[in-house]
Amino acid sequence: MNKEILKILENDARTSPEQIATMTGISPKEVTNLIKQAEKERVILKYKTMINWDKVGNEQVSALIEVKVTPQRDAGFDSIAERIYRFPQARTVYLLSGAYDLLVLVTGKTMHEVADFVSQKLAPLEGVQGTVTHFMLKRYKEDGEIIEEKEETKRQQVVL
């Protein structure tokens, strides 16, 4: 797969095959075929639109949850990670090095909803030794995109 095409799509999934062709020197038809092949092989997993929900009045609560687990015989961390990532509330699940084994990004409508998920579904799972929940208070930058650009002050400096 052409890594240059992947980088272009990763930066902006709306880039058309014609635009990619101009940028890479590959024909639009070949670009389209390469993209279809990458989708089929699951190299391209998903096309994503990033929304600033605060601007449309649909706030949501996000939390990062550190999870300490007991690895299972013959399955290691994979088995418990799979049980966790099957929950719809778990948006992202990573295996970590360090004090905690898994990092889970959870979203919900309220802090109470997220807390209920942790206390009623995540913490009671067999193999989970403990959790630490960090509620996200404000997003500044995500996936390389600055969420709120500060407006530059356009005042003339007064010298005394």
Could you say which residues of the chain have pLDDT below 70?
A: 151-157, 160
Looking at residue 155, what is its pLDDT? 62
Residue whose C-alpha is closest to residue 103's, from 65, 62, 130: 65
What's the length of the chain? 160
**Under a CB-based contact definition with an 8 Å cutoff, are residues 24 and 31 in contact?**
yes
Domain ranges of the chain: 3-40, 53-138
C-alpha neighbours within 13 Å on the C-beta side of residue 13: 8
pLDDT tens string 109-141: 999 999 999 999 999 999 999 999 999 999 899
CATH code of the domain occupying 53-138: 3.30.70.920
DSSP H helices in the chain? 3-11, 17-24, 28-40, 78-85, 111-117
Residue whose C-alpha is closest to residue 59's, from 136, 150, 120, 118: 136
**pTM to 2 decimals?**
0.79
Looking at residue 157, what is its pLDDT? 66
Task: Return the beta strands (E) in 32-127 as ranges.
Answer: 61-69, 90-95, 102-108
pLDDT tens string 52-64: 877 888 788 999 9
Task: Compute the distance between CA of residue 67 and CA of residue 80 in angstroms, rounded to an integer.
Answer: 11
Sequence-distant (≥ 6) Cβ neighbours of residue 133 within 8 angstroms: 63, 64, 65, 114, 115, 118
Looking at residue 153, what is its pLDDT? 57
